[in-house]
Amino acid sequence: MTKALLSRGPKEDLEVVDIVLGETGPNQVRVAVRAAGVCHSDLSMVNGTVSPSFPLVLGHEASGVVAEVGPAVTRVAVGDHVVLNWSPPCRVCWFCRKGEPWLCQQNAGVASRPGGQLSDGTPTNLTLGIGAFAEEVLVDERAVISIAKEVPLAEAALIGCAVLTGFGAVRHTAAVQPGDSVAVIGLGGVGLAVVEASRLVGADPVIAVDRSTGKQPLAIAAGATHFIASSATTTRQIRALTEGRGVEHSFECVGRSATIRDAWQSARRGGSCIVVGMGGADDQVQLSALEIFHYARTLRSSVYGSADPDVDVPQLAELALSKQLDLGALISHRVELDDVESAFERMYRGEGARTLVVFD
């Protein structure tokens, strides 16, 4: 039996229940979860933005210790410290062979996968095949990536989603260069990771934008050179900080048409606008034919940081070990399993950075 946080359907109260994960298969790994971050995508699973199968164990951004391995497993051994990867590439599909494992066909559009059951035998589903808000997870070996044991294990949970996504958006999708100007709109865990990554690359200025002024100290701690409380004049203020041009790269880390418009209008002529936030299917973004031509901007999305987790996760763990990456600056709250709803409420109110669910 494993304690896990379950949703029985959209907008229903979350419950801590006992689930049975079953036997460890030949290629599977059982991980004792050390910590799991509360990501905006967990909220999207239960508020109607995406449509997973229910009942659903939430959580996908996690770290832990390998507790058991199947007989065919070669990637890890019992006792290894690991970060969970919610989009393990198959390495054989067209996209993987093209060198774009973040677009792996086997993971496209997958919000949940079957796994585990309730004590009465009802089958459960796991968010993104992980279901990390649980004392234990049982996953394919491709979904675990070993990190050095010296890396603080609880904080390393964030490397599996927010940090990989934020750093990847900066390093891979946008390929930000030293001295480039950057604006980051939306300062949740991912947005703050974009700020940190931009600072580490040597971008200047790094302009952080959020609707909540309470995010200012978090933004500055993560390395922002400027903070703007978003308003009708956001893009004008960003242009004022860049000699009237707009920034080289703008990052939208919310997933809404209004903030995508702000990010688009914040980029210079010929600059790039990177959409990192995942928005809804019914939220239309309007761009006129004239402005698309006139501004000569690039509009791209960044899926899982355009990263190869098997390469990037160990590198990011090394950056955390050398303190160039400050995982602590991305975490504002630590809670127990039954308190994830408080993190969702903070998201709605626009407060705080990452909330980490910590297991003893």
| Least gap, CB of 351 to Zn ion (angstroms) | 18
Site track for Zn ion across 102-121, x = CB under 5 A: --x-----------------
Nearest to 112 by CA among 123, 126, 99, 101: 126
For Zn ion, the binding residues in 248-267 under the rule CB under 5 A are none
| Least gap, CB of 245 to Zn ion (angstroms) | 33
CA dist., res. 132 & res. 112, Å (int): 12
Question: Where does this chain touch Zn ion (CB under 5 A) — which range of 90-98, 174-182, 239-247, 343-351?
Answer: 90-98
| Least gap, CB of 58 to Zn ion (angstroms) | 11
Query: Do the Cβ atoms of 180 and 203 come closer than 8 Å?
Result: yes
| Least gap, CB of 234 to Zn ion (angstroms) | 25
| Least gap, CB of 271 to Zn ion (angstroms) | 27
Site track for Zn ion across 35-74, x = CB under 5 A: ----x-x-------------------x-------------
C-alpha pair distances (Å), 331 with each of 186, 187, 222 = 15, 12, 11
* Total interface residues for Zn ion by CB under 5 A: 9
Which residue among 33, 161, 184, 316 contacts Zn ion (CB under 5 A)? 161
CA dist., res. 55 & res. 160, Å (int): 24
Task: Considering the complex, state which of residue 161 and residue 276 has its C-beta at the smaller distance from Zn ion.
Answer: 161
| Least gap, CB of 103 to Zn ion (angstroms) | 8
Query: Do the Cβ atoms of 302 and 275 come closer than 8 Å?
Result: yes
Q: Which two tokens stand for residue 111?
A: 């919000």
CA dist., res. 196 & res. 224, Å (int): 8
Tell me the residue nearest to Zn ion as measured from the CB.
39
96 binds Zn ion (CB under 5 A): yes
Task: Considering the complex, state which of residue 39 and residue 192 has its C-beta at the smaller distance from Zn ion.
Answer: 39
Count of CB atoms within 10 A of residue 93's CB?
A: 17
CA dist., res. 42 & res. 254, Å (int): 14
Nearest to 249 by CA among 162, 169, 165, 164: 169
Query: Do the Cβ atoms of 18 and 5 come closer than 8 Å?
Result: no
193 binds Zn ion (CB under 5 A): no
User: Which one-letter DSSP state was computed for residue 213?
Assistant: G
Task: Considering the complex, state which of residue 184 and residue 267 has its C-beta at the smaller distance from Zn ion.
Answer: 184
Q: Map residue 3 onto helix, strand or coil.
A: strand
Q: Map residue 39 onto helix, strand or coil.
A: coil
Question: Where does this chain touch Zn ion (CB under 5 A) — which range of 32-40, 209-217, 321-329, 347-355?
Answer: 32-40
The label of the residue with tokens 């989009």 reads 87
| Least gap, CB of 208 to Zn ion (angstroms) | 20
90 binds Zn ion (CB under 5 A): yes
Task: Considering the complex, state which of residue 96 and residue 207 has its C-beta at the smaller distance from Zn ion.
Answer: 96
Residues that bind Zn ion (CB under 5 A): 39, 41, 61, 89-90, 93, 96, 104, 161
